[in-house]
Amino acid sequence: MSIGERVKLVMDASGLSKSELANTLDVSQAQLSHISSGRNKPGIDLIQKLLIKFPEIAPEWLLNGQGERLKRSNNSQELELFLHKTEQKLKEIQLELRELELEMREKRKI
């Protein structure tokens, strides 16, 4: 997918008409139409304006198509970190339980 196609996706997903979006981004409606049709490629000024207007769009995705279209929210990142730490702690507890079980089996044999 080209950068023009990704910009068009952002424009379509904005929920704004081309004229509303053009006004919001302070660009001409013709410029947006030319990008939507694939006639022109978006310039860096338009890309910057889109990223400012739509901060949820991941810059890496918009610029080079890598990663997800939307940024992860800080809450999602914090939750993911919490879940990772919890999973690690659970694995430690499971290891301790196995060790205790082995100790108990050894004591029963004596």
Question: What percent of the chain is predicted at pLDDT more than 70?
Answer: 95
Same domain assignment for residues 40 and 80: no
Domain CATH number, residue 40: 1.10.260.40
Q: Look at the block and give the residue holding tokens 């006639």.
A: 39
Banded pLDDT at 104 (limits 50, 70, 90): very high
Number of structural domains, the chain? 2
H or E element, residue 109: helix 74-109
Same domain assignment for residues 59 and 77: no
Same domain assignment for residues 52 and 91: no
Same domain assignment for residues 59 and 14: yes
Q: Does the pLDDT of residue 67 top 90, yes or no? A: no
Containing structural domain, residue 89: 72-110
Banded pLDDT at 15 (limits 50, 70, 90): confident
Same domain assignment for residues 32 and 55: yes
Same domain assignment for residues 27 and 52: yes
Q: Does the pLDDT of residue 42 top 80, yes or no? A: yes
Q: Look at the block and give the residue holding tokens 């082995």.
A: 102
Judge whether 7 and 62 are in contact, CB under 8 Å.
yes
Same domain assignment for residues 57 and 86: no
Q: Is the dihedral of CA 11, 12, 16, 19 positive or negative?
A: positive
pTM of the model: 0.60
